[in-house]
Amino acid sequence: MTIARSLKIDLNVTPYYHCMTRCVRRTYLCGQDKETGQDFSHRKGWIVNRIKQLSSLFAIQVCAYAVMSNHYHVVLFINEAQALSWTDNHIKSRWAALFPQDAKQLENGLNPEQVQAKLSLWRQRLMCISWFMRCLNEPIARFSNLEDNCRGRFWEGRFRSQALLDEGAVLSAMAYVDLNPIRAKEAKTPETSEFTSIYERIQMVTKTLKKNMTTAQIVKQCDTTQQPTKLVPFRNEDLKEETFPFIHFKLSDYLSLVDTTGRILREDKPGAIPETLAPILQRLHLTPHGWMGMVKHLEEHFSHAVGEETLLIAFGARYAERSPKGVFKAKQIYSNAA
């Protein structure tokens, strides 16, 4: 069932969202084109750089990202409090960095009421995921078409989004995104999966630690090291209580969880789930097998939202859908875990 974007993305429901955009016809326009043999992998760097640039301008922070050869994923946090705290000059300078012509028009021929109306509109747009994704996708498409000397669509269509209704959904979506290169066999381990947020987090840790460490070795020492400034941080010993937003788990817990999950998901590895996964999953109210199902089938088992059964039903009621996709799976995934 197609629903309005304003209902799928609503701060009254949750500030966390998983978004995905795919290249037109699922072609490898950001990787090695199988038909022509051309390599467009450098465009992955374009997308990562643009994500970071936009997160410094919008009141939207990035929890996780992964840029693949024919699509990309982001897990985003809408920081409404940050947007509301900005002065008019903050709004004007941020919007001018995105749309210089709009800022020039603001200074020419508008009365004070019109200026305030414009600034109010821009404030709303600077905490809008639709505008974030528009400002991300349009220049990438334009630069790529210019490079290819062609015209037409670069992206398949509008981005897909899923509301993440609880902590379990947020961490499942983050792990799903961070493990994309491993599942696609583009990387063997998290520390070698370039163009992902987990690779960036590990690289930040290893700047102050011994090079060529495994994820398991990094896990033991990562909670007291500096974290990437463009990503939503995990809780650590140096993180101030007033810091917001932050993820309410230690980075070591997350790295261990993703590393173990990635090994289980690989087809050449046995599917046994180690007991070490239990503590963090208990805090998320997820069963071990339920966790694996969410990370492996997040987009298949859920549609517009991801979360516990009652939260999904409440979300579905917002647009008159009695039983949104994922309710049955959520009941299985979260059962016996509380």
**CA-atom Rg of the chain in angstroms:** 21
pLDDT of residue 271: 56
Answer for the pair 262, 274: CB distance below 8 angstroms, yes or no. no
Report, as an integer, the average pLDDT of 126-149: 95
How is domain 5-86+128-334 classified at the CATH fold level?
A: Alpha-Beta Plaits (3.30.70)
pLDDT tens, position by position, 235-293: 775 555 555 688 888 888 898 888 888 888 765 555 566 766 767 888 888 888 888 88
Strand, coil or helix: 246: coil
Residue spans in the chain of domains classed CATH 3.30.70.1290? 5-86+128-334
The reported pLDDT for the residue numbered 320 is 59
Give the distance, in angstroms, between the CA of residue 273 and the centroid of all CA atoms in the same chain. Answer: 26
| Range in 21-35, 58-72, 199-213, 234-248 the model is least confident about | 234-248
Question: Tens digits of per-residue pLDDT, 32-53?
Answer: 877 777 889 999 999 999 999 9
Take residue 256 and report the two structure tokens written for it: 């261990």
Task: Report pLDDT for 251.
Answer: 87
26 pLDDT exceeds 80? no
Contacts of residue 302, Cβ cutoff 8 Å, sequence gap at least 6: 162, 325, 326, 329, 330
337 pLDDT higher than 60: no
Count Cβ atoms within 10 A of the Cβ of residue 285 and give its class: 0-12 exposed, 13-18 middle, 19 or more buried.
Answer: middle
Q: For residue 338, what pLDDT is reported?
A: 44
Task: Tell me the C-alpha distance between 50 and 97, whole Å.
Answer: 13
Q: How many CB atoms lie within 10 A of CB 82?
A: 17
Band (335; pLDDT cuts 50, 70, 90)? low
Cα–Cα distance for residue pair 251/249, rounded to 1 Å: 6
**122 and 91 in contact (C-beta within 8 Å)?**
yes
Q: What percent of the chain has pLDDT over 70?
A: 86
- Out of 165-174, 184-193, 210-219, least confident range: 210-219
What is the pTM for the complete model shown? 0.90
Residue with tokens 């999953």: 281
Residue 204 has pLDDT above 90, yes or no: no
Do residues 23 and 154 make contact, with C-beta atoms less than 8 angstroms apart?
A: yes
